């Protein structure tokens, strides 16, 4: 028996109201429906790092699916900071939407408990990445843009891929590109996925693809990296977003205006970055897809996780098609 139109209409209105409530908790927005990222609360500076009986004083806590955490993990890898910055990993709990430790960390099972020990209020979200000080038992910093710069300032390890991701001669170019990518790409995919209105989504989508086109044009002259011949923080900022493109953003966040292979220079740039030493281990793309589709309930209420090729498999394809 067909469902009466009135019942469908009421159900749609009720669901939309509940969806707005859920979205407000997940991702606040302005009056026009544009996603507004909350500012980070812990902003102290890391003044070096040391060890106590062979154990690093500071711990970088990440979630493997989070692109903001991924950028900090990449800097730790590329600079070979394993001996001075320890690593701890949290996983999302789909039932509660919170990050949890697989084993208790500093006496805490949930990341929120660790935030509470650092003075965070009950309404503050527990996010990754963050730097934890074992001596003070406090969060040092939970702003990824600052963490990557602080990690880059540490002396490189013996197996470092780069000694510095911010060479002085490229500082101005790095700053310009970083601002563009942060606003329109790194945050842009979230403004697409978390938009409340069609207009907000379309504006974010247009800005996202315009920024990608700008990077494509910069790379089209044959340079290996965005700022030229040297790998920089700009490349580190962009890779986590483009690495997750097919796993999450293209489908779940509605970033499907153009496939990534239609940007040939970007396609090969992504492969080049992935092939850097110690990078592939930071890219569990099946975990990304599982976490995004199963944990972001307002965007995927069924929690069905569609199958898709891994990032490694995608990078072996002979795209782009000319």
Q: What is the CATH number of the domain that holds 202?
A: 1.20.1050.10
Measured in whole angstroms, the distance separating CA 24 from the mean position of its chain's CA atoms is 20
CA distances to 135, 185, 230, 234, 235 from 178, in Å: 33, 10, 15, 6, 9
Q: Does residue 185 sit in the same domain as residue 108? A: no
Last residue of a domain, one of 92, 127, 152: 152
Give this prediction's pTM. 0.94
Give residue 134's pLDDT. 94
Give the residue from 261, 276, 258, 277 showing the smallest Cα distance to 322.
261
Tally of CA atoms within 13 A in the half-sphere of 234 that contains its CB: 26
| Residue 258 falls inside a structural domain | yes
Q: Does residue 185 sit in the same domain as residue 114? A: no
Q: What CATH number did the domain enclosing 61 receive?
A: 3.40.30.10
| Residue 192 falls inside a structural domain | yes
| Residue 16 falls inside a structural domain | no
| Residue 96 falls inside a structural domain | yes
Number of domains within the chain: 2
| Residue 201 falls inside a structural domain | yes
| Residue 117 falls inside a structural domain | yes
Give residue 196's pLDDT. 95
Give residue 150's pLDDT. 96
| Residue 243 falls inside a structural domain | yes
Give residue 322's pLDDT. 46
Residues of the chain predicted below pLDDT 70: 1, 7-8, 15-16, 19-21, 319-322
Q: Please enumerate, as own/partner, the contacts of 176-183 that have beta carbons within 8 Å and a separation of 24 or more.
A: 177/226, 177/227, 177/234, 178/145, 178/233, 178/234, 178/237, 180/211, 180/214, 181/211, 181/215, 181/234, 181/237, 181/238, 181/241, 182/145, 182/237, 183/207
Q: Does residue 61 sit in the same domain as residue 103? A: yes
The 3-class secondary structure across the chain, one letter per residue, is CCCCHHHHHHHHHHHHHHHHHHHHHHCCECCCCCECCCCCCCECCCCCCCEECCEECEEEEEECCCHHHHHHHHHHHHCCCCCCEEEEEEEEECCCCEEEEEEEECCEEEHHHHHHHCCCCCCCCCCCCEEEECCCCEEEECCHHHHHHHHHCCCCCCCCCCCCCCCHHHHHHHHHHHHHHHHHHHCHHHHHHCCCCHHHHHHHHHHHHHHHHHHHHHHCCCCCECCECCCCHHHHHHHHHHHCHHHHHCCCCCCCCCCHHHCHHHHHHHHHHHCCCCCHHHCCHHHHHHHHHHHCCCCCCCCCCCCCCCHHHHHCCCCCCC
Give the residue from 303, 180, 280 showing the smallest Cα distance to 238.
180
Domain that holds residue 263: 168-281
């Amino acid at each position: 028996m067909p469902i009466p139109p009135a019942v469908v209409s009421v159900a749609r209105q009720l669901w939309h109201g509940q969806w707005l409530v859920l979205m407000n908790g997940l991702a606040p927005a302005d009056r026009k429906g544009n996603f507004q990222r909350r500012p980070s609360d812990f902003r102290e500076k890391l003044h070096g790092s040391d060890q106590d009986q062979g154990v690093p004083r500071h711990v970088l806590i990440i979630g493997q699916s989070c692109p903001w955490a991924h950028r900090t993990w990449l800097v730790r890898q590329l600079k070979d900071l394993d001996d001075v910055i320890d690593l701890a990993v949290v996983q999302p709990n789909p039932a509660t939407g919170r990050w949890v430790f697989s084993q208790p960390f500093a006496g805490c099972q949930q990341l929120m408990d660790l935030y509470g020990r650092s003075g965070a209020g009950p309404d503050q979200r527990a996010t990754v990445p963050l730097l934890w000080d074992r001596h003070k038992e406090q969060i040092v910093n939970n702003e990824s843009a600052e963490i990557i710069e602080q990690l880059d300032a540490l002396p490189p390890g013996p197996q470092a891929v780069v000694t510095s991701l911010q060479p002085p001669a490229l500082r101005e170019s790095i700053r310009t590109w970083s601002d563009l990518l942060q606003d329109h790409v790194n945050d842009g995919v979230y403004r697409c996925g978390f938009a409340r209105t069609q207009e907000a989504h379309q504006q974010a989508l247009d800005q996202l693809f315009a920024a990608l086109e700008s990077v494509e044009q910069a790379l089209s002259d044959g340079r290996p990296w965005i700022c030229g011949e040297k790998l920089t923080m700009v490349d580190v900022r962009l890779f986590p977003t483009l690495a997750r493109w097919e796993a999450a953003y293209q489908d779940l966040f509605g970033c499907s205006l153009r496939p990534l292979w239609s940007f040939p220079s970007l396609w090969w740039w992504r492969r080049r970055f992935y092939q850097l030493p110690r990078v592939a281990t930071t890219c569990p793309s099946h975990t990304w897809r599982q976490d995004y589709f199963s944990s972001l309930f307002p965007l995927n209420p069924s929690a069905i996780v569609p199958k898709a090729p891994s990032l490694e498999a995608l990078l072996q394809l002979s795209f782009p098609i000319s």
